[in-house]
Amino acid sequence: MLEKRAFEPEFLQKLDSLVLGVTRARTIRAGRRAGGRVLGTGIEPESFRDYAEGDDLRYLDWNALARLDDLTIRTFRAERQLEITILIDASASMGAPREDDKFGLALLLGAALAYVAMSENDPVRLVAFSGAKGATQVVRSGFHRRRETFLEFRPFVASLRCGGEAQMAAAVADLLAERRPKGMVVLISDFLLTETDYETALTRLLAARHELKVLHVMGEREVAGSYPPGAYRIRDAETGEIREITLNAASAAACRTRAATHAERVRAACLRRGISHAQAFGAGNADAIIMREFPRLGVIS
């Protein structure tokens, strides 16, 4: 439901002033062989240096040669576009409790980040992973660069449904198997899975030299434990496991404690790895999260 806001003009206008907090590509020496191939060239001159054997003669400064009779090579600042992948958890836990609309919040934030990223014409795509029949299923949108094409994400976003028991590490492995150039990955999830699984996923992404940002999404009722009191059978949305429970104030407090503990574990795991991390708790706080929490936590600048 909430994801529909992502394509409303009023919401997009609020995002126009934001810039993705991304570390740009490093300068490389143009005209020099690097690992057997030229990595790329820019148009902004950086410096000059003496010609050395093996340098590409196309970068020889012919004016300097004519005037000074000296072989000089021009160097440029190479500019590289950054591929941005917004990886969204679409497992069944993202859909529960239904009232929290965690998945809608995740899609809204993901779309907002994509819009922000497209301000610098970086190629952006959305990727969602879920579980189906015991296997991890990863669906991808196409890359879009310009904001004029932002609305092309709408069909993809509308088609996403959460379900199944997802394994984040397996989804990341599937993503890395594409062998795309290193870029930025924004991971949006409730991280309600085993610590081993999400830590493996984070480690793999970092090992692939991606710049990683994490958005930890939780629902308001989930965090507060504010379920209506009474006797219930609760069922794990992903595993189907059923437990009988009586919900009351004490159980709500226990839930809060457990949610806080879980959030702290995720945050600690990100901090240990130097990963930008933000918490997005409560769908009703979407605007505040985007405008205040994201810049503060370095997701956007």
Partner 1 sequence: MGFFVPSALALGLSLVVLVAIYLRHRSRPLLEVSSLTLFEPTAAPAVRSRVLRLDPLFWFDAACLTALTLLAAGLYVHETRPAPRPQRHALIFDLGASMGATDGRGDRLAEAQQQALALLDHAAPAQEFSIITYALEATRVAARSNRRSDLREAILALRPEAVTPGQTALGAALSDAASADEIDLFTDHRPPPRLLDAGHLHGVVHLHLVGSPGANLAIVALDPGVPRNLEGYCLVRSFADVPRTTELAIDLDRRPVFHSPLMLEPRAQMTVRFGPLPQGGVLHARLLQPDDLAVDNDRYALAPSVAPATALVVSNDRGVRDDLARVLLAINPNFRVTAIDASAAALRQQSRYRFDLAVLHEVDPSAINAAARMLIYPQPRSAAGLEVTGSVPMAELRRGNTSLGNPVLLGPARIVQLPAWMEPLATGAPAGSDTSIPLIATGTPQSGPVGLIAFDLRNHLLLNPDKMAALLATIDAVRQLLQPTDARVVQTGKPVPLALFAPATLIAPDGSRTALRPDSAGIAYFNPLETGRYLAVSGHRMIAIYANYFDATESDLEASSQVLPAHAPTPELAAVRTTIAAVPQDRLLALVVALLLLAESWVIVRTATRGRSLHV
Q: Which stretch binds partner 1 (CB under 8 A): 31-39, 69-77, 198-206, 220-228?
A: 220-228
3-state class (DSSP) for residue 209: coil
CA distances from 86 to 144, 207, 291 (A): 12, 18, 19
Question: Residues in contact with partner 1, total (CB under 8 A)?
Answer: 35
Report in angstroms the alpha-carbon separations of 147 from 11, 38, 267: 14, 30, 32
Closest approach of Cβ 285 to partner 1, in Å? 18
**Is residue 97 a contact residue for partner 1 (CB under 8 A)?**
yes
48 belongs to the binding site for partner 1 (CB under 8 A): no
Whole-angstrom Cα distance, residue 25 to residue 4?
33
Cβ atoms 291, 14 nearer than 8 A:
yes
**Using the rule CB under 8 A, is 239 a contact of partner 1?**
yes
- For the bound state, the minimum distance from the C-beta of residue 173 to partner 1, rounded and expressed in Å, comes to 22
CB of 279 to partner 1, least distance (A): 16
In the bound complex, what is the minimum distance in angstroms from residue 247's beta carbon to partner 1? Answer: 8
- Nearest-10 Cα torsion for 20, 26, 30, 33: -130
**With CB under 8 A as the contact rule, which of the stretches 48-56, 123-131, 139-147, 225-233 interacts with partner 1?**
225-233
Judged by CB under 8 A, the stretch of 40-48, 68-76, 123-131, 217-225 that binds partner 1 is: 217-225
Q: Which two tokens stand for residue 77?
A: 């600042």
Q: How far is CA 298 from the centre of its chain?
A: 12
Contact map string, positions 101 to 130, toward partner 1, x by CB under 8 A: -x----------------------------
Side-by-side strand order, sheet with 135-140: 135-140, 124-132, 84-89, 184-189, 211-218, 276-281
Residue 54: which residues within 8 A CB-CB, separation 6 or more? 33
Q: Is 133 in the site for partner 1 (CB under 8 A)?
A: no
Work out which of 83, 190, 199, 211 binds partner 1, going by CB under 8 A: 190
Residue 123 Cβ vs partner 1, minimum distance, rounded to whole Å:
32
Task: Give the interface with partner 1 as residue ranges (CB under 8 A).
Answer: 92-94, 96-98, 102, 190, 192, 219, 222, 225, 227, 230-245, 251, 254-255, 258-259, 262
